[in-house]
Amino acid sequence: MSIAVRYFTRSGNTKKLADAIAGRLGVEAKTVDNGLLERADILFLGCSYYAFDVDDAVKEFIRANRWNIGTIVLFGTSAMMKSVYKPVKKIADEAGVKLATEEFHCRGQFHFAHKGRPNEEDIKMAADFAESAAKKLG
Ligand SMILES: Cc1cc2nc3c(=O)[nH]c(=O)nc-3n(C[C@H](O)[C@H](O)[C@H](O)COP(=O)(O)O)c2cc1C
């Protein structure tokens, strides 16, 4: 089973989760600027909310790499929202890519709100989540 980790970040919060997830799974976390050169049976995809949507770079990544994606498993951070499932599901459906219902999402620091998040506990929970999702879906 092949696993890849890709993420988009503006202020580094989601990268913290991506690095922990990739470290636990023994792969390298890369930004969505790095296309999938080989098929990923499970793609852990990290993204956050910006003005009530995910960044266009995430959408474009899914579209451009659709032939190399088995199942997407989402993770991310945001200030208020609890999931990025809905906007990503729309893009995944249009691209014909499977999106797992399992997702990890936690608070991310936004100016003075949620200072220090994701914290150590969030980061460990993200890695635990990824390990069990990989076992379940693999
Ligand atoms: C321009 C901008 C717009 C944002 N809009 C939202 C939003 O609509 N909903 C929300 O919950 N968080 C919003 N946030 C907060 C981010 O989702 C949060 O800080 C997240 O952890 C950022 O992740 P990153 O550091 O990986 O980019 C916004 C942040 C920025 C910078």
CA 67, chain centre distance (Å): 18
Q: Using pLDDT thresholds of 50, 70 and 90, give the confidence band for residue 138.
A: confident
pLDDT over 90 (residue 24): yes
pLDDT over 90 (residue 70): yes
- For ligand 1, what atom is nearest to the CA of residue 113? 19
Question: What is the distance in A from the centroid of ligand 1 to the CA of 111?
Answer: 9
* pLDDT tens figures, 92-125: 999 999 999 999 999 999 999 999 999 999 999 9
Tell me the CATH number at 69. 3.40.50.360
Pocket test for ligand 1, best of 13, 78, 84, 123 (most atoms within 8 A of CB): 78
Determine whether the shortest distance from the Cβ of 27 to ligand 1 is under 6 A.
Answer: no
Instruction: Domain count for the chain, please give it.
Output: 1
Q: Please, what's the b/e burial string for 79-106 (b: 16 or more CB within 10 A of its CB; e: otherwise)?
A: eebeebbebbbebbeebebebbebbbbb
What is the mean predicted confidence (pLDDT) over 68-81? Answer: 98
Q: How far apart are CA 55 and CA 8, in angstroms?
A: 8
Structural domain for 17, as ranges = 3-137
